[in-house]
Amino acid sequence: MTLMRVRRAAQLTLPADVRQALNVKEGDYLEARITKDGVLLTPVQVVERERAWKNIEDIAARVRDLEPDPNEDPMAAEERIAEQVKDFRRKHV
């Protein structure tokens, strides 16, 4: 267990072993979520708004370009589209 002390202006310093385990460096962002057991810190990636919209537009264009199959089950179509979105994110993150 690693202890931390709340400093002036409610600042915390993450100990080296915690930073290494989370793979975070100075300037990175962490999301703080209150749970029933305490606080959960999760590293998050912040993307510039214009870049995020560009990515959304690119993904939407790819989805629109798909030829719908009238015989395909709607759930199967959703799964196929979700998989394509995941593939795109893996390649572009």
> Using alpha carbons only, how large is the chain's radius of gyration in Å?
20
Residues spanned by the domain of 72: 49-92
> Do 26 and 58 sit in the same domain of this protein?
no
> Do 76 and 56 sit in the same domain of this protein?
yes
Average confidence (pLDDT) per 10 residues, the chain, 93 residues: 90 91 91 94 86 82 69 83 81 69
Nearest Cα neighbor of 84 from 51, 60, 50, 54 is 60
Number of domains in the chain: 2
User: Residue 91 has what pLDDT?
Assistant: 78
User: Residue 39 has what pLDDT?
Assistant: 92
> Do 37 and 63 sit in the same domain of this protein?
no
Instruction: Give domain status of residue 34, yes or no.
Output: yes
Length of the chain: 93
> Do 37 and 58 sit in the same domain of this protein?
no
SS3 53: helix
User: Residue 33 has what pLDDT?
Assistant: 95
> Do 57 and 26 sit in the same domain of this protein?
no
Stated pTM of the model = 0.49
Scored b (16 or more CB within 10 A) or e, 3-40 reads eeeeeeeeeeeeeeeeeeeeeeeeeeeeeeeeeeeeee
